[in-house]
Structure formats: C-alpha cells, structure tokens
Amino acid sequence: MGILDGKQVLVTGGARGIGFEIAKKMAGEGAKVFVNDVKDEILDIAVTELLKAGFNAEGYKADITDEEAVAKMFHIIEKKGGLDVLVNNAGLSIRGVHALRTGTVEHDVKKVTEIGLMDWNGVLNINLTGTFLCTRAAVPLLKKSNNGRIINMSSRAGRAGGSVSDIAYVTTKAGIIGFTKQCAIELGAYGITANAIAPGVIMSEWLKDHWENLSNERQETLLNSIPLKRTGEPQEIANICVFLASDSSSYITGTTLDANGGSYLS
Amino acid sequence: MELTGRIALVTGAAKGIGAEITNGLLKKGAKVILTDINMENLISKTNEFREEGYDVDSKLLDVREEQQVIEAFKWIDEKYGRLDILVNNAGLSPKVNGIRRNTHDIPTSEWDTVLDINLKGTFLCTREALPLMQKGKWGRVISIASQAGRTGSRVSGTHYSASKAGIIGFMRTLATEYGTFGITANSIAPGPIETDLLYINDSGKIDTYIKNIPVGRLGKAQEVASAVTYLCSVDAGFINGATIDVNGGLFML
Ligand SMILES: NC(=O)c1ccc[n+]([C@@H]2O[C@H](COP(=O)([O-])OP(=O)(O)OC[C@H]3O[C@@H](n4cnc5c(N)ncnc54)[C@H](O)[C@@H]3O)[C@@H](O)[C@H]2O)c1
Ligand SMILES: NC(=O)c1ccc[n+]([C@@H]2O[C@H](COP(=O)([O-])OP(=O)(O)OC[C@H]3O[C@@H](n4cnc5c(N)ncnc54)[C@H](O)[C@@H]3O)[C@@H](O)[C@H]2O)c1
C-alpha cells in the first residue's frame, strides 16, 4: 500500500538522474508510471530496472520539444487510463544542449557573450517549450482526475542565479516559476494544483561528471556555502515530488519548493 | 511508522491548526506533548487524543513567559531525555469584532502582545529545545508563519505581519546554524485557513477572499498539518531554511 496507489504519472526525462529517481519512488508508492525520455537506450535500461523491481512502469520515447510526438504520447496515455500527475522534469543546460548537438562536452560554464543562438534556443526549447507542450496536452486528462497535479522542475539557479549555471538555464528555470504560478491560477478551478521544485546542487549523473572536473578548492567552497554541508541526492528530490503528488499537499499550489540544504534561503 | 519513537512538542496545540498538527504527528507514530495557554482546552484536547489511544502528554505553557518555557523544557529533559520535533504554532492575530485595527489605532500593549507571543515565544521555545535536539543528533524545528509575513494582508494587522515576516527571517538564520547537527529549520506560511483565528466579521469579505484563491476555497487545518508532518519526515531532510506556502495559490512567490 503506497500513498500514490491508483494514480497514473508521467515523468519526462525520466530515464536517468533525478527523473529516474522520481519515477522509481512514485512507482514504489503504488503509482503507474509512464517514463518518457528522448534517448531510447537509457530509457530501455531504466524501464527494465523498474519492471524488475516489480513496479508498474512503461516507457515512451518522445522528444518533448516535438509537438506531434507529444500529442501522440498523450493520446496513448489517455487510452491507457488517463493521467493524474504530470512531472515536467526533462531539462538541460547549455552544456547539455551543446553536447547533444555537437558531441563535445565543455566543462567551463559559458558566459552570456559566449553562448551561440542555437544552444540558447535549444535550452529554451527543452526547458520551457517542452514544459508548455506537455502541460497543454496533459490538462484535458488532468481535468478528468479528481486530484490533478502538475509538478515542474525549476532550480535554485532560477531563484538566485549561480556560479555553476549558465544564463540560458537560469532564464528558463526562472521562467518555470512564472509558468507554474499561471497554471495554478488557470487550473485551480478544476482541482488541479501546480507547483515547482527548486533543487540546489544534486548529485545526478550530469553533475557527477561536472563535479569531478572542479578543483578540490572549488568543491569545498561550494559545500561550505550549504548549511547542511553536502550536496543533495536525486532521491531527496523524488521524495518531494511524491509529497507534491500526494493528497497531503492538497492546498499547496503555485509555490516553488526549495530543496537546497539551505544554500539559498528563500 | 514514519515518526515512531520521535518526541514532538507543539505550542498552541489545544485547538485550531495546532490541534490538527498534533493529530497529524500522532497518526505518524510520534509521541506528542501538547502545550497551550488555555488550560481547559488543553485538558480536553489531550484527553480526546488519549481516549483515541494516542501517546500524548501535556503541559500548560505560555510561550511568552521565559521562566515557564525554561521549566517546561527542563521537565521534558528530565522526563524524556530529549526532544526531536518542535512546532512553534502558538500565535495571535487580534481583531475587534472580527476586524483588525489599522496601525494608527494599535495600542502599544497590543503590539507588544503580538510580538511577544508570535516572535519572542518562537525564540524562547526554540532556544530551549535546541540542546535537547542536539542530544539526539536529529531535529526538526518548524514554525508556523503566515501569508501575512510574505506579502501584505487585508485581514490582519501590521503587528501580525511584522511578527510573521520576523519568524521567516528567524528560521532562515537558524537553518544556517544547526544543519551539521542534523537539525533542519523551516517555516510554513498558511493562507486563509478555516479556524477561529481567521474569523472575519464580514461574509462579503470572505467571498471576495475566496474568489481570489485559485482553488476556490479556504484551506483546512489538516492541510497545514500535512505539510508539518511532511517536513518532519526523513524524506524532507534536504529541505532547510525554506518557507512552504499552503495557501491554495492566493499568493505565489
Ligand atoms: N542535478 C542538479 O543539480 C539539478 C539542480 C536543479 C535542477 N535540476 C533539474 O532537474 C531536472 C533533471 O536533471 P538531472 O540532473 O536529473 O539531469 P539529467 O541530464 O541526468 O537528466 C535529464 C534527462 O532528460 C532527458 N531529456 C533531455 N532532453 C529531452 C527531450 N527533449 N525530451 C525528453 N527527454 C529529454 C535526458 O535524456 C535525461 O535522461 C532538470 O530539469 C534539471 O534542470 C537539476
Ligand atoms: N487560521 C489562519 O487562517 C492562519 C493563517 C496563517 C497563519 N496562521 C497561524 O497558525 C497558527 C495557529 O493558528 P490557528 O488559526 O489555529 O489559531 P487559533 O486561535 O484557533 O489557535 C491558537 C492556539 O494558540 C494558543 N495560544 C495563544 N496564545 C498563546 C500563548 N501565549 N502561549 C501558548 N499558547 C497560546 C491558543 O490558546 C489557541 O489554542 C498561528 O501561529 C497563526 O498565526 C493561521
């Protein structure tokens, strides 16, 4: 018996990192989880792991920036019983988009003058347009649920900026917060709540790579700026997602929940 | 259960949100010490929980009174040897016939009362609780702020807003001090919740209020309580220094 028994959930970008932990935790709480990702190799691995653990999970390969692909995905979800919770998790920084586009990973954080338009557009497309497309397609399904929930992944960087983030990423993550508020206003009448989570430094796959490229000194400075003196784990973000998806959070809407160990106190 | 073995203290626990917070913690397995300034309500609420088979204790406590606070926590130390969860909930929002006083009408005594209960009370209870939490290397301090401390309020006075914004600042700095002891500090900022405190002597005003709330209704005390139990859980361990709004979307920041 879990606190999400009987709920149907979609997690975008759920094949690895925070998204995967969200899918796993929600499935563990009894939800049926649709796992979306753009990369099918890692998606297969992720879904196999969930199924092996005895969870109710299904994978959908779709690029959330592709309007048609998104429409198709939601059409299938509707046929399979509808949706109660949408987790807009897929998101990338300039580094991620650049690597996807060119195959080369650059570890230095690019400054505003160093960012090409293609990379800028890529970040805005995934983080904002993708969130919009999925939300727009999900709303008719969420209206049919008694407790529709939209959970968007913002970031500490969207609240306060930050030395490890680029400006396109920060822009979109702040944008997510506004998007979330307006969703709350427009959809409250249908019993749908919309909230954002703003994680601080979380040891997900992509951060691990980046972290190892930071000097010891830089790592120490970063850790020292966090009152809890440690980075967060993807599971700790997944936990919050479960709370926001559960009936316990029924009067919470339009908010951004900070999970950053206290590193930026909002 | 999630909070089995944990000992919690809730101030202003005899009714309203405090009583529901107590109920929520009990349901998760915690032992709860109810405290309140109102003896009659405190006794009947405590008995109510006891009759339901819950593990409760109680102590008459005016959070403004330093000596009382010191003695209450000393009593807990002697009786239980530690404390895991403190919920600073006791609070006052003075109204005259359901209407706040505007600033030019607030007597100093009313100003002092509000700041004493809401702010000094939070400080005193937190100060005395911290050594007991450090013993267990785990702790949760949760203070009930208010939407009035996040933005302006149309129903409560300037003293109330000052005290609630003060609580948020207090909790953020507390969050920087005890993290390494496993103690997190967070605030909850409820919007309009159906309790005696919300009492507004004007149904028209309530209707306008509700119209502005995206979910189209007032909140329930249980919905504040569920945020408290969540913050007490192991799952919420990376949330520190945060303020959680529970307001149906009335104010979003
Ligand atoms: N790790 C952190 O410290 C941190 C901090 C704050 C916020 N976040 C946010 O959390 C979310 C998850 O981050 P993560 O650290 O797990 O990253 P990650 O790179 O490990 O995972 C992102 C996933 O999204 C998928 N994805 C990318 N583009 C997609 C698209 N167009 N359509 C569908 N899927 C797509 C990727 O394939 C990948 O599996 C992101 O929104 C990120 O901005 C992360
Ligand atoms: N009801 C709302 O809409 C609302 C909104 C935002 C915040 N809050 C906050 O939630 C908390 C609880 O409010 P409520 O609505 O349950 O109010 P309430 O008036 O129903 O209950 C308050 C309780 O605190 C006790 N109390 C008062 N002074 C005390 C003192 N000096 N020492 C110990 N106990 C004392 C009272 O006896 C009572 O039992 C308060 O801090 C309040 O400011 C309430």
Domain holding B126: CATH number? 3.40.50.720
Catalytic residue selected from B160, B178, B209, B230: B160
pLDDT at position B154 is 83
Question: Would an 8 Å CB–CB cutoff place B213 in contact with chain A?
Answer: yes
pLDDT surpassing 90 at residue A264: no
Whether the Cβ atoms of residue B181 and residue B126 lie closer than 8 Å to each other: no
Q: Ligand 2 atom closest to Cα of B117?
A: 31
Residue A94 amino acid letter: I
Mean of the per-residue pLDDT values for chain A?
95
Q: What is the pLDDT of residues B129-183, one digit of tens each?
A: 999 999 999 999 999 999 999 998 888 999 999 999 999 999 999 998 998 899 9
Cα(B236) to ligand 1 centroid in Å equals 21
Q: Which of A56-70, A100-114, B113-127 has the lowest mean pLDDT?
A: A100-114
- Residue B108 belongs to what domain range? 7-248
pLDDT at position B75 over 90: yes
What's the confidence (pLDDT) of residue A265? 53
Judged by DSSP in three states, A67 sits in helix
Edge to edge, the sheet with strand B56-60 lists B56-60, B31-36, B7-10, B85-88, B139-144, B183-190, B243-246
Question: For residue B146, which ligand has an atom nearest its CA?
Answer: 2
Is B56 among the domain residues? yes
pLDDT (average), residues A9-23: 98
**Inside any domain, residue B156:** yes
Residue A130 near residue A90 (C-beta atoms within 8 A) = yes
Between A185, A237, A257, which is nearest B249 by CB? A185
First to last CA, chain A: 35
Assess contact for B36 and B12: CB atoms under 8 A. Answer: yes
Nearest ligand to the C-alpha atom of residue B189? 2
Predicted confidence (pLDDT) at residue A252 exceeds the cutoff of 90:
yes
Q: Is residue B100 part of a domain?
A: yes
CB A139 within 8 A of CB A189: no
Specify the pLDDT at position A65: 97
> In this model, does residue B194 exceed pLDDT 80?
yes
Task: Give the mean pLDDT of A53-79.
Answer: 98
Instruction: Establish if B2 belongs to a structural domain.
Output: no
- Considering its fold, how many domains does chain B have in total? 1
Nearest by Cα to B23 from B2, B62, B52: B52
Any A CB within 8 A of B210 CB: no
- Cβ distance B214 to A185 less than 8 Å, yes or no, reads yes
User: How far apart are the C-alpha atoms of B94 and B100, rounded to whole Å?
Assistant: 7
**Above pLDDT 90, what percent of chain A?**
85
pLDDT at residue number B233: 96
The amino acid that residue B193 corresponds to is: I
Residue B21 contacts residue B225 (beta carbons within 8 Å): yes
- Inter-chain residue contact A251 with B220, CB threshold 8 Å: yes
Q: Strand runs (DSSP E) across chain A, as ranges?
A: 8-11, 32-37, 57-61, 85-88, 149-153, 193-199, 256-259
Per DSSP, the three-state class of B38 is: coil
> Over pLDDT 70: what percentage of chain B?
99
Selected residue of B17, B178, B183, B239 to mutate for chain A interface (largest A Cβ count, 10 A): B239
The verdict on residue B1 lying in a domain is: no
Residue B95 lies in a domain: yes
What is the rounded distance in angstroms from the CA atom of residue A90 to the CA atom of residue A37?
8
The contact set of A with B (CB < 8 A) is: 180-181, 184-185, 187-189, 191, 193, 200, 226-229, 232-233, 236-237, 239-240, 242-243, 248-262, 265-266
Write down the pLDDT at residue A266.
42
| Cα B192 from chain centroid (whole Å) | 14
Between CA B243 and CA B5 the distance in angstroms is 26
| Inside any domain, residue B177 | yes
Q: End-to-end distance of chain B based on CA atoms, in angstroms?
A: 33
Pocket perturbation via mutation, ligand 2, pick of B10, B17, B89, B113 by most ligand atoms within 8 A of CB: B17
Nearest one of A206, A241, A208 to A26, comparing CA atoms: A241
Over residues A54-83, the mean pLDDT reads: 98
- Token code pair at residue A23: 């899918």
Which of B197, B210, B224 to mutate for ligand 2's pocket (most ligand atoms within 8 Å of CB)? Answer: B197
Q: ipTM of this model? A: 0.75
CA distance A74 to A220: 44
Name which of B229, B235, B241 is nearest A239 (Cβ-Cβ): B235
* Three-state SS letters, A73-132: HHHHHHHCCCCCEEEECCCCCHHHHHHHHHCCCCCCCCCHHHCCHHHHHHHHHHHHHHHH
Q: Is the pLDDT of residue A106 over 50?
A: yes
Name residues contacting ligand 1 (CB within 6 A): A 12-13, 15-19, 36-39, 63-65, 89-92, 96, 126, 130, 153, 155, 199, 201-202, 204-207
Per-residue pLDDT reduced to its tens digit, A207-242? 888 888 889 998 998 898 899 999 999 999 999 999
For tokens 């230095």, the residue is A108
Residues of chain A in contact with residue B180, where contact means CB-CB under 8 angstroms, are 227-229
DSSP for residue B96 = B
Residues 6+ apart with CB under 8 A from A233: A21, A202, A203, B238
Contact A42, A206 (CB under 8 A): no
With beta carbons under 8 A apart, name residues in chain B contacting A25: none
Contact yes or no for B240 and A228 at CB 8 A:
yes
Q: What is the mean pLDDT of residues B37-62?
A: 98
Task: Give catalytic status of residue B80 as yes or no.
Answer: no
What distance in Å separates residue B235's CA from the closest CA in chain A?
6
Contact A250 B223 (CB under 8 A): yes
Task: Single out the residue of A87, A189, A258, A227 nearest to residue B245, CA to CA.
Answer: A258
Could you tell me if residue B253 is inside a domain?
no
Q: How close, in Å, is residue A196 to chain B by CA atoms?
A: 11
What does pTM read for this prediction? 0.87
Report the pLDDT averaged over residues A149-160.
95
Would the pLDDT of B242 be above 70? yes
